[in-house]
Structure 1
C-alpha cells in the first residue's frame, strides 16, 4: 500500500487503536521479554520504525536505550508525545529516512513492515540497512504464513511472510540473520520474529 493510504487508514482510527493496543501491558508477555532481551545488546542510537502509539519506544527508553520513535501517522506521533513526553518522536516514512548512512546501532520494526506490498518490502529493508552501521541490530516482528499472501487486517491491507522468504529478503538487503522465533497463540495469527545484524 502507498504511504498515503496507510496514513489515512490509521489516522481515522488512531485513537481507537491506541486505546486497545497502545500500552506495553496490552502486548504479549513473550514479546516484552523478546524486545527487552534484544535491547541489552544495543549501544548507540536506535529507531522504533513504525512506532504507532509509541509504547515500545517508551519501553526501550525506560531501559536506557537511546531511541526515537518514527511513524508515518501524525496522529500517532502527536499522541505519543503527550503520553510519553520524555521520549523523542518524529513523523517519517520508512521508505526515505532522514538519517545518515550507518548512523544507527539498532532498528526495531515490530509489525511495521506488514503493510508494505511485496514489491515494496525490499526497498524498505535496504533503507533500514543503509542507516545501520556495520553489526547494527534489527528486530522485525511479523505475521508468519504464505509469503505475500494478503491477510484480513482490521485497518489496512497487510501481508503474511514466511520465515524462509523474510530471511532471504533480509540477506539480499545486507543482513545476516541471527535467530528466529515463532509462536502460535490460540485464536491469533501465527507470529514470527527475526533478529539480524547489518553486514
Structure 2
C-alpha cells in the first residue's frame, strides 16, 4: 500500500478513532501510571510523536511536564486543543502551514 493510500485510510477513520480512544478516560490506568512513573519527574520537554488525538500529550502536560504532540492528521491534532488544563502544543506536520500563527 502506498503512503498516500495509508494516509487517506487514517484520515477516513480519524473521527471514529477519536470517539473510541481520544480521551484519557479510555486509557488503561496502568498505562497512565507507567507514564507518570517514568516521565513524571522529567526535566526536559516530552515529545508525543504520533499523538493522534493528543489525549496523552494533554495528560503529560497536566502532570506539569512541557509536553508537545505531533501528528500527521489535521483532524486529530486539532481536536485536542481543549483537553489540557495547562498550555500544550499540538501540531500536525500536514496542516501546520495552513494554521494561523496563534494556533501553531
Would you call these one fold, judging by a TM-score over 0.5?
Answer: yes
TM-score, with structure 1 as normaliser: 0.43
Which residue of the partner structure matches residue 93 of structure 2? 92
**Structure-1 separation of matches of 2:37 and 2:5:** 34
**Which residue matches 1:46?**
46
Secondary structure of the equivalent of 2:79? helix
Could you say which residue in structure 1 is the equivalent of 2:65? 65
2:101 corresponding residue in structure 1 = none
- Give the whole-Å Cα distance in 2 for the aligned partners of 1:3 and 1:69: 21
Q: What is the match of residue 8 of structure 2?
A: 8
1:79 correspondence with 2:65:
no
CA RMSD of aligned residues (A): 2.1
Instruction: Give the deviation of 1:68 after TM superposition.
Output: 0.7
**Matched residue SS, 1:13:** helix
Once the 2 structures are TM-superposed, how far is the Cα of residue 3 of structure 1 from its aligned partner? Answer: 4.6
Deviation at 1:81, TM superposition (A): 2.2
> Aligned partners of 1:91 and 1:2: how far apart in 2?
20
Residue 20 of structure 2: aligned partner: 20
Bigger RCO of structures 1 and 2 (CA < 8 A, at least 6 apart): 2
Contact kept, 8 Å, 2:62 with 2:84, in 1: the verdict is no
**1:55 corresponds to which residue?**
55
CA apart distance, 1:82: 4.4
Determine the structure 2 residue equivalent to 1:30.
Answer: 30
Distance 1:34 1:3, change over 3 A: farther
CA contact (8 A) 1:3 1:72 kept: no
- Cα shift at 1:40: 2.3
After TM superposition, where is structure 1 displaced by more than 6 Å over at least 4 residues in a row? Answer: none
| Contact 2:49–2:71 under 8 Å retained in 1 | yes
Unpaired runs of 5+ residues, structure 2, are 95-104
1:87 positional shift = 1.7
Q: CA deviation at 1:41?
A: 3.5
Contact map agreement 1:44 1:66 (CA 8 A) in 2: yes
Q: Which has the larger radius of gyration?
A: 1
